[in-house]
C-alpha cells in the first residue's frame, strides 16, 4: 500500500466519530514508482484549478510543479468564474455546480467551453470543458469546493485534491491539504506547515543572477521586505504601518533593501513607503518587468541575506521559510488563535523583527514536496 494510517485516533472536527490522521511513506512511493512505468508513455495529466487569484493559484501550481519533479507531468491551469448568485449560497445549495460555472480560462486568458460538463467521448475517455479530463484535480478556494465534490461523485477515478480547509465533510474529497494551524484531521487529510508554494531554490538562484545585474549597486547584506495588507485577522492601520516605516528607515543604515508589495497592500501605504524610503540603498519593485523577469519575487528571495515579512501572510511567510534564510516578522494590528498556532509552528524559522538583525540556521521548509509525494502515492495506490 502507498498510504499508511496512524493507529492513534484523533477526534475529527465536525464529525461525530474519530479518524486517524493520514501520513505517507517515501519508501512506499518509491516502490510504487518502480512498478508504475505508464508515465514514460503518457505524462500524468494534472489540473491546477482556482479562481485565478495569485494566492490561490500559486498553491495548486506549486503542488503540480512538485508532482512534475517526481514523474513526467502535463500541467494545465484552469481559472474559473461562477454565477454571482451562487456565491451567496452554501456549497450544498449550488445544485449541479458545473451549471454554475460562467467561465473557464487557461493561464493565457483563453476561454474554454465551460458549458461542457463531465462526460465521456466516443472512445470512452473522460472529458471536461472540452478537454481530456485530468488524472489529478488540484483545487484551491471556496469557489472550487462544490466542483471538487461533484467531480468525486461523477468521476471517482479522478484523484480530487483540495487545499485549505473546505469546511465541509472531508469524505467529499480524495485528499485535503490544509495548513497545520487549521487543526483539521482525518485519514484523507495531510496537514502541512504553511501553504503549498512554488518556491524552487534552483530557480531562485537562477533568477537572482539576472536581478543582480540590475541591482548590483545595492549594498550587502541585503534585506528583502515582503509587504502584505489587511486580512480577516490583521489590520494594516496607521499605527502598525508607522512602526514598519520607522523600522525600515533604520534598516537602511545597515542593509540594502528590496521591497515588494502584495495585491492587498493599500495604495496609500505603498505611497508612504515610496516617499519615506526614497533612498539610494532601497529598491522598490514598481510592478514592471526587470532584468528579463516579469515578476522578480523569487529573485528577490534569492538575492536576500535576510527576509522581513508582514505577519498576516501565510503564503509569503511560507515562501520565505523555504529559503533557509532568517525570516523576520513585521507586526500588524490584530491576530487570532489560528495565527498564533501558525506563528508557533514556524517559531524556529521566523522571529519578530528587531535591529540589528540576527542570523540563525534552520532546515528550509519543503512541505509542498512532501504533499506532492503523498498525492502521487495516493493516486498510484488507486491504479
What average pLDDT does range 302-317 have in this prediction?
97
Residues 219 and 321 occupy one common structural domain? yes
Q: Strands, E, within 83-229: which ranges?
A: 101-105, 119-120, 126-128, 131-132, 136-139, 159-163, 175-177, 222-227
Task: Give the model confidence (pLDDT) of 310-362 as tens digits.
Answer: 999 999 999 999 999 999 999 999 999 999 999 999 999 999 999 999 999 99
108 in a structural domain: yes
Residues 234 and 189 occupy one common structural domain? no
What confidence tier does 113 reach under pLDDT thresholds 50, 70, 90? confident
Residues 253 and 174 occupy one common structural domain? no
Gap between the Cα atoms of 188 and 103, Å rounded:
30
Residues 272 and 150 occupy one common structural domain? no
Residue 20 exposed, middle or buried by CB count within 10 Å (0-12, 13-18, 19+): middle
334 in a structural domain: yes
281 in a structural domain: yes
Q: Among 7-16, 25-34, 49-58, 188-197, where is mean pLDDT lowest?
A: 7-16
As a residue count, the chain comes to 383
Residues 6 or more apart whose CB falls under 8 angstroms from that of 207 comprise 293, 296, 298, 299, 302
363 in a structural domain: no
51 in a structural domain: yes
11 in a structural domain: yes
In the predicted model, is pLDDT for residue 164 greater than 70?
Answer: yes
Comparing CA positions, the residue from 237, 238, 225, 177 lying closest to residue 371 is 177
Residues 148 and 45 occupy one common structural domain? yes
Residues 335 and 269 occupy one common structural domain? yes
Residues 227 and 376 occupy one common structural domain? no
Residues 236 and 322 occupy one common structural domain? yes
Residues 238 and 347 occupy one common structural domain? yes
Gap between the Cα atoms of 379 and 373, Å rounded:
10
Comparing CA positions, the residue from 25, 7, 330, 369 lying closest to residue 193 is 369
Residues 330 and 374 occupy one common structural domain? no
pLDDT of residue 123: 59
- CATH number of the domain where residue 216 is located: 3.40.50.2000
What average pLDDT does range 225-240 have in this prediction?
95
pLDDT of residue 124: 63
pLDDT of residue 39: 67
Q: What percent of the chain has pLDDT over 70?
A: 88
Cis ω for the linkage preceding 278 (within 30 of 0): no
pLDDT of residue 8: 31
360 in a structural domain: no
In the predicted model, is pLDDT for residue 13 greater than 70?
Answer: no
Gap between the Cα atoms of 364 and 342, Å rounded:
16
Alpha carbon separation from 327 to 153, 339, 361 (Å, rounded)? 43, 16, 10
pLDDT of residue 95: 85
Q: Is the dihedral of CA 24, 26, 29, 31 positive or negative?
A: negative
Overall domain count for the chain: 2
> Please, how many CA atoms are within 13 Å of residue 69, restricted to the half-sphere of its CB?
15
- pTM confidence score: 0.85
Residues 168 and 220 occupy one common structural domain? no
362 in a structural domain: no
What's the chain's average pLDDT?
A: 89
Gap between the Cα atoms of 382 and 175, Å rounded:
13
> Please, how many CA atoms are within 13 Å of residue 21, restricted to the half-sphere of its CB?
14
| Beta strands 73-82 and 101-105, pairing class | antiparallel
Residues 253 and 229 occupy one common structural domain? yes
Gap between the Cα atoms of 10 and 13, Å rounded:
9
User: Which residues form the domain of 59?
Assistant: 3-193+368-381
In the predicted model, is pLDDT for residue 307 greater than 90?
Answer: yes
Amino acid at each position: 500500500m502507498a498510504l499508511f494510517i496512524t493507529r492513534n485516533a484523533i477526534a475529527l472536527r465536525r464529525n461525530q466519530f474519530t479518524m486517524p490522521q493520514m501520513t505517507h511513506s517515501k519508501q512506499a512511493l518509491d516502490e510504487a514508482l518502480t512498478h508504475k512505468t505508464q508515465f514514460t508513455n503518457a505524462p500524468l495529466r494534472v489540473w491546477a484549478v482556482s479562481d485565478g487569484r495569485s494566492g490561490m493559484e500559486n498553491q495548486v501550481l506549486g503542488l503540480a510543479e512538485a508532482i512534475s519533479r517526481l514523474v513526467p507531468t502535463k500541467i494545465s491551469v484552469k481559472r474559473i468564474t461562477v454565477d454571482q448568485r451562487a456565491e451567496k449560497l452554501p456549497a450544498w445549495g449550488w445544485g449541479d455546480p458545473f451549471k454554475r460555472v460562467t467561465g473557464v480560462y487557461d493561464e493565457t486568458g483563453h476561454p474554454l467551453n465551460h458549458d461542457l460538463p463531465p462526460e465521456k467521448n466516443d472512445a470512452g475517455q473522460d472529458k471536461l470543458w472540452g478537454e481530456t479530463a485530468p488524472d489529478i484535480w488540484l483545487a484551491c478556494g471556496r469557489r472550487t469546493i462544490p466542483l471538487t465534490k461533484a467531480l468525486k461523485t461523477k468521476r471517482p477515478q479522478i484523484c480530487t485534491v483540495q487545499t485549505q480547509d473546505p469546511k465541509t465533510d472531508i469524505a467529499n474529497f480524495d485528499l485535503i491539504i490544509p495548513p497545520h494551524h487549521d487543526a483539521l484531521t482525518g485519514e484523507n487529510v495531510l496537514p502541512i506547515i504553511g501553504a503549498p508554494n512554488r518556491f524552487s531554490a534552483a530557480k531562485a538562484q537562477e533568477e537572482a543572477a539576472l536581478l543582480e545585474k540590475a541591482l548590483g549597486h545595492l549594498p550587502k547584506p541585503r534585506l528583502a521586505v515582503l509587504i502584505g495588507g489587511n486580512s480577516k485577522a490583521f489590520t494594516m492601520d496607521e499605527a502598525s504601518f508607522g512602526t514598519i516605516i520607522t523600522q525600515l528607515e533604520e534598516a537602511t543604515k545597515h542593509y540594502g533593501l528590496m521591497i515588494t508589495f502584495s495585491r492587498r497592500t493599500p495604495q496609500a501605504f505603498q505611497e508612504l513607503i515610496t516617499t519615506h524610503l526614497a533612498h539610494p540603498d532601497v529598491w522598490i519593485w514598481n510592478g514592471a518587468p526587470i532584468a528579463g523577469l516579469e515578476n522578480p519575487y523569487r529573485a528577490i528571495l534569492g538575492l536576500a541575506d535576510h527576509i522581513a515579512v508582514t505577519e498576516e501572510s501565510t503564503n509569503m511567510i511560507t515562501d520565505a521559510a523555504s529559503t533557509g534564510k532568517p525570516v523576520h516578522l513585521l507586526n500588524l494590528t490584530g491576530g487570532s488563535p489560528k495565527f498564533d498556532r501558525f506563528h508557533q509552528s514556524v517559531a524556529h524559522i521566523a522571529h519578530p523583527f528587531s535591529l540589528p538583525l540576527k542570523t540563525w540556521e534552520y532546515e528550509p521548509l519543503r512541505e509542498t514536496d512532501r504533499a506532492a509525494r503523498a498525492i502521487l502515492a495516493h493516486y498510484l495506490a488507486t491504479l
